[in-house]
Structure 1
Amino acid sequence: MTKFSVPKMSCGHCTAAIEKSVTAADPTALLSFDLDTRTVDIDSADDAAALIAAIKEAGFEATAA
């Protein structure tokens, strides 16, 4: 499981967009969001760079936390 900081993630629409993009890249990925800390935990076979790219494709900047 890898944790990412997504500073501009602020609502359910944001999390839905990120989840859609990440699961398009890895359909078996499991995501857990924390809007208070603006972080997302992702359990995926993809590496961190691929996950950051998927989050970016959803319109959000992310860094490994």
Structure 2
Amino acid sequence: MDLCRDEEIPFVPYRPLDAGAAASGGDLTTPLTWLLARGPHVAPIPGTSNPHHLAAIVQAVD
């Protein structure tokens, strides 16, 4: 991600929360907030079919 930032290349992680604790019912807000804080060149595309996870994603973006 740092190289992408330095070279002004957009970084778009698709379904970045689809593995590990973040996908198994853990708190999605922290990993998504971390990704968004990496810089304006990062545009994560989180995927979910769980309404609770969707609410956490929306909260992280706000």
TM-score, length basis structure 1: 0.33
**Larger relative contact order (Cα-Cα within 8 Å, sequence gap ≥ 6):** 1
Q: Per residue, is there more strand in 1 or in 2?
A: 1
Larger Rg: 2
TM-score, length basis structure 2: 0.34
Q: Per residue, is there more helix in 1 or in 2?
A: 2
